[in-house]
Amino acid sequence: MQIEKQNDPFITEHVVKAKFAIAAALLGVSAGAMAQSSVTLFGVLDEALVYANNAGGGATVQMLDSYHWNTMWGLEGTDDLGGGLKANFYLANYFNLSNGQNFNSESFFYGGAWVGLSKEEYGAVTFGRHYDYSVYLLPNMPGVNATLAQTPGNLDHTGGGYLNNALSYTSPTFGGVTFSGLYALPGGATDPFNTGRAFSLSLTYRGSRLRAAAVATKINGAYVTPTLAGMNTFLGQDVIPYAKVHVDSQNIYGLSASYDLTSKFTVQASYTDVAFAGFNQYESLRTATASAVYAFAPDLKLTGAYQYAALESGDMNTYSLFLDYFLSKQTDVYAAAHYAQAGGASQSAVLFTLAPSSTSRQVAVAVGIRHFF
């Protein structure tokens, strides 16, 4: 999963930030100006041991990085320009904890890279590499707990989608409601993520008990990997395993909400609709999720979830249980179980990001640890 940290309450609630003043000797500024600027170092380390009964044709036991959250480190900073105006920046690098390698060889700051200006009464404008706003649906979904509970192939980008060359605006919050808009310039033929222009819109609400989000994203010239969703055919074409397919357009629409029934019990629901166009064909993926979170204690939570996905190649039912125990605000351990059942001759059962099963079923169990810094 790829999730933009600074806009998500789950990260900001638990990350302990190490702030330090920028050295005046390096910047050549006065001590007074130095005190109004800051840089934050943050990060997450997450690793799980996963058993799957059938991944690529046989049982597997593997280390899975970023099972519960992205393994990453980053820098963000703020410079107070006076009169409430601030300059802001954000840089995030994803890497694999199992071997220390960067998550993607083509982008060092794969998890986002932008700079911009903000003022409380007007909002914030940023420029650079951003996630589209489908990721705002995730805090109200079971996929926030485990990669294997994510929607098929992350084709709806609820686990994070990337747009280069983007301009983003986020409004002030009025009565818990925030609006965001993003426009991305065409990336060109060498861009591995999107070659055409794109836009994304979101409307989010955060109240004392209710949280909700609505998003719409349109990407022209996007790349998708149908194998990650268990598809054996896509847009009328036979799928080459793990090969990226360049589509003319990818349109994403989604809604999600969560509601605290009591201080211990929360219910969640989401629906996404993704429409693809390419090879003079059209195809859609519609996914609905329902989940419930019960807190036995402030440091022990259980999530149960059901997901139904309707694809042109078939359908898939997925069931998940996730138990999370916090040793501290910075460190938690977890255990989970997942089951996927596929229907349709050209649809394989798959839990993102495992290899598809050679049968219509896939079962996986996991234990792991996560640490924020």
Cα Rg of the chain, angstroms:
21
pLDDT digits (tens, 9 = 90+) for 20-37: 333 333 344 444 444 478
Residue 133 has pLDDT above 90, yes or no: yes
Question: What pLDDT is attached to residue 106?
Answer: 78
**Rounded Cα gap, residues 186 and 167, in angstroms:** 12
Residues 113, 93: Cα–Cα separation, whole Å? 9
The residue assigned the tokens 């003043």 is 21
pLDDT at 20: 35
**Better-scored residue on pLDDT, 263 or 35:** 263
**Token pair 């209710």 is at which residue?**
210
Whether the per-residue pLDDT at 135 is higher than 90: the answer is yes
Rounded percentage of the chain residues whose pLDDT exceeds 90: 84
pLDDT 10s digits, 70-117:
999 999 999 999 999 999 999 999 999 999 999 887 789 999 999 999
Quick one: average pLDDT of 208-222?
A: 97
pLDDT of residue 57: 95
Which residue type does 58 have? G
Tell me if 211 sits within 8 A of 293, measured CB to CB.
no
Hey, what amino acid is at 184?
A
Q: What percent of the chain has pLDDT over 70?
A: 91
The predicted pLDDT at position 188 comes to 77
Cβ-count burial of 296 within 10 angstroms (0-12 exposed, 13-18 middle, 19+ buried)?
exposed
pLDDT tops 60 at residue 152: yes
Contacts of 111 (CB under 8 A, 6+ apart): 2, 4, 5, 70, 72, 74, 92, 93, 94, 103
Helix (H), strand (E), coil (C) string for 82-101? ECCEEEEEEEEEEECCCCCC
Q: Which domains does the chain have, with CATH numbers?
A: 5-372 (2.40.160.10)
Is the Cα dihedral 196, 180, 3, 233 positive or negative? negative
Q: What is the mean pLDDT of the chain?
A: 90
| Residue 277, both tokens | 């166009």
Dist CA 32 CA 91 (whole Å)? 26
Measured CA to CA, the distance from residue 67 to residue 61 in angstroms comes to 14
The stretch 5-27 carries a mean pLDDT of: 37
Query: pLDDT (tens digit, 9 = 90+) per residue, 305-325?
Result: 999 999 988 999 999 999 999
What's the confidence (pLDDT) of residue 189? 72
Q: Rounded CA gap, 256 and 143, in Å?
A: 12
The answer, yes or no, to whether residue 69 has pLDDT greater than 50, is yes
Does residue 215 have a pLDDT over 80?
yes
Q: For the segment 270-315, what is each residue's pLDDT rounded down to a tens digit?
A: 999 999 999 999 999 999 999 999 999 999 999 999 999 999 889 9
CA–centroid distance for 26 within its chain: 36
SS3 state of residue 154? helix
